[in-house]
Chain A
Amino acid sequence: MSSVTEAPPSSLGRQRFAPLRALLADPFTGAALILVAGFLITAALAPWLAPYSPTKIDVLHKLQPPSAEHWFGTDHLGRDLLSRIVFGTRTALTIAMVSVVIAGAIGLLLGLIAGYGPRWLDALLVLTFDSLNSLPMIMFALAIITVLGAGTSTLIIVIAATSFPSYARLIRAQTLALKNSDYILAERLLDAGTVRIIFVHLLPNVVGPLIILLSMDIPVVIMVEAGLSFLGLGVRPPTPSWGSILYDGYTSIRSAPFMVIFGGFPLVLATLGFTFLGEGLRDYLDPRLKLRRPA
């Protein structure tokens, strides 16, 4: 005679230290990993995968619906949409990786300085991080674009400048926690140099959470790139970008709706893939980190 009682909370969520297989056992993480791998391969092999040149104009065959020659149809200048999307993958991923790595490096450096440096410098840096964080990100981005003019390098600067404060805050918090930990104090008593403490003890400990945060920000960066390119404030034409493809499709949404349909899909799939992969990684490596905001 046994009975299952009703359910107040008991142990919730996944076990923290499941083996790596658990990461892939989650069907969504597995699917996300395949998607992301697909996008990475597409980006790397773009010139071989794309059937045409992404910038070859052929006005005679503009706005053609999908056909055997042009699987996704052609845009308002007669360019092959599939080729533009394939090369757009390269643009999106390159900008995302480069800007996230730059932002991560700046965040790491400033976070270490704030956490390890003198009090006044720490206070000043924290004020800077907080000020930047308390700006509506888009306004800050638009201000930078006004000053520098639209373009790929501006885009990278915008993304790096708007995202490094949160990385710096994370690194600073980790550094402060570690700095006062017993083993670092012991090292200092043994006269270990600052450089040694930073490279041998701090860096290996702060890099893990930073990488999770960076990987979770990649889909956001992809969205920002596409969004700004959609507004005409991102990648300059004729460089193919998912955002500008969407804009071209948007301007002919009534005559050639297939352009926005095909143009939006890779963007949605990429953000979904990177988001679920990031979530899976986060759950697996450090469940305490928070969910990112919608963008």
Chain B
Amino acid sequence: MLTYAIKRIGLGLLILTFVMVVMYTAVFLVPGDPASVALGPRATPELKKMLIERMGLDQPVWWQIVEFFRNALTGNLGYDVWSNRPVSTLVMEALPNTLVLGVTSLAAALLIGVPLGCLSVVRRGTAADAIIGVLSVGVIAVPSFVVAIYSLLLFAVTLRWLPAIGAGETGDLVSQAKALVMPALAIALGWIGYIARMVRASMMEVMGEPHIRTARSFGLPEWKIVSKYALRIAIIPTISLVAVGLGSILSSAVFVEAVFARPGIGRLVTDAVNTRNYPVVMGTVLIMTAIYVSITIAADLLIARLDPRVRDVFRD
């Protein structure tokens, strides 16, 4: 188990390094130096010189990459080109909002999607199963930011039930929760469908296995067979797919944060892209990739925990 974990983490670090090297190289392969691109028409020679020094662009590329990683290891991700605030501070301010949004959406999706998938299996072949099936594909197809805009129009503008923008007042949990409802549901909707379908598919496979027949032969109620005997196995592939899909939850978060003007990573990085603020983009991408890679590793380890057969393979 430990060797497995170390191997996975090592691969994760390798991927992170690889990605940053590719990105850094790409920036310098593009015609025109980043400083003048960032400054645009406002560029004066003095301003440009100052910016070049601040961004370390006078150093060779390989040295910049080494510097970036050396600094990143000490928690220094560089400075915002415009406000000169440390990128790590900016990220740390924005990150909690995005994480809360992502975790809430995922939890909502699991809480609704898994029971729907189970219901589909218990009522397989009936109208309920068919309706869940079609609705699942339907909600997967609808882009989350469109759901966000429509729910904004309906619940905030027309009905005035929920706040339209922001992440709620600091320290006021109720207002924060209210501000979370629409963004979280906009992201969760597609995932509810996806999880329901995944759970149904892998559950149907498990329901054909002999140990389910054993459980049936002892007269266990169908709901218990589905929720305990089948789900424990069927949930394993679902977890790994959900983990891999966290990247697209992040994507949805970027769009949904824009719709609800929610101060999070999405807003931070979108603004930075619009102003060509390289250090902020680089730093955010590094942090988000690191988070994403660690979640994937955590999911793999969780799967190893959940399935005693896998657990034993890695025990030695």
A–B proximity contact (CB within 8 A) = yes
Q: Is B248 part of the binding interface, using a Cβ–Cβ cutoff of 8 Å?
A: yes
The distance from the CB of B222 to the nearest CB of chain A, in whole angstroms, is 8
A13 closest partner in B (C-beta): B204
Task: Point out the residues of chain B lying under 8 angstroms from A271, CB to CB.
Answer: 141-143
Chain B residues proximal to chain A, CB less than 8 Å: 12, 14-15, 18-19, 22-23, 26-27, 30, 37, 124-125, 134, 137-146, 149-150, 152-153, 157-158, 189-191, 193-194, 197-198, 201, 204, 207-208, 212-213, 216, 241, 244-248, 250-252, 254-255, 258-259, 269-270, 272-274, 276, 278, 281-282, 284-285, 288-289, 292-293, 296
Contact B149 A250 (CB under 8 A): yes
Q: Binding site of A, secondary structure by majority: helix, strand, loop or mixed? A: helix
Of the stretches A14-22, A52-60, A81-89, A132-140, the one at the interface is: A132-140
Task: Point out the residues of chain A lying under 8 angstroms from B157, CB to CB.
Answer: 253-254, 257
**What are 9 contact pairs spanning A and B, CB under 8 A?**
A136-B250, A142-B270, A143-B285, A147-B30, A148-B30, A227-B145, A231-B254, A272-B142, A293-B140
Task: Choose one: B26, B141, B292; the contact of A134 (CB below 8 Å).
Answer: B292
Contact A295 B248 (CB under 8 A): yes
Q: Binding site of B, secondary structure by majority: helix, strand, loop or mixed? A: helix
Total chain A interface residues with beta-carbon distance under 8 A: 54
A185, B124: Cα distance in complex, Å: 45
Contact B15 A293 (CB under 8 A): no
Contact A142 B273 (CB under 8 A): yes
Contact B259 A250 (CB under 8 A): yes
Contact A143 B23 (CB under 8 A): yes
Task: Point out the residues of chain B lying under 8 angstroms from A204, CB to CB.
Answer: none
Interface residues of A in 119-151 (CB under 8 A from B): 127-128, 130-131, 134-140, 142-149
Contact B141 A275 (CB under 8 A): yes
Of the stretches A167-175, A189-197, A259-267, the one at the interface is: A259-267
A147, B27: Cα distance in complex, Å: 6
Q: Closest 5 interchain pairs by CB?
A: A294-B190, A138-B251, A275-B141, A136-B247, A223-B143
Task: Point out the residues of chain A lying under 8 angstroms from B137, CB to CB.
Answer: 28, 275-276, 279, 291
Contact A293 B248 (CB under 8 A): yes
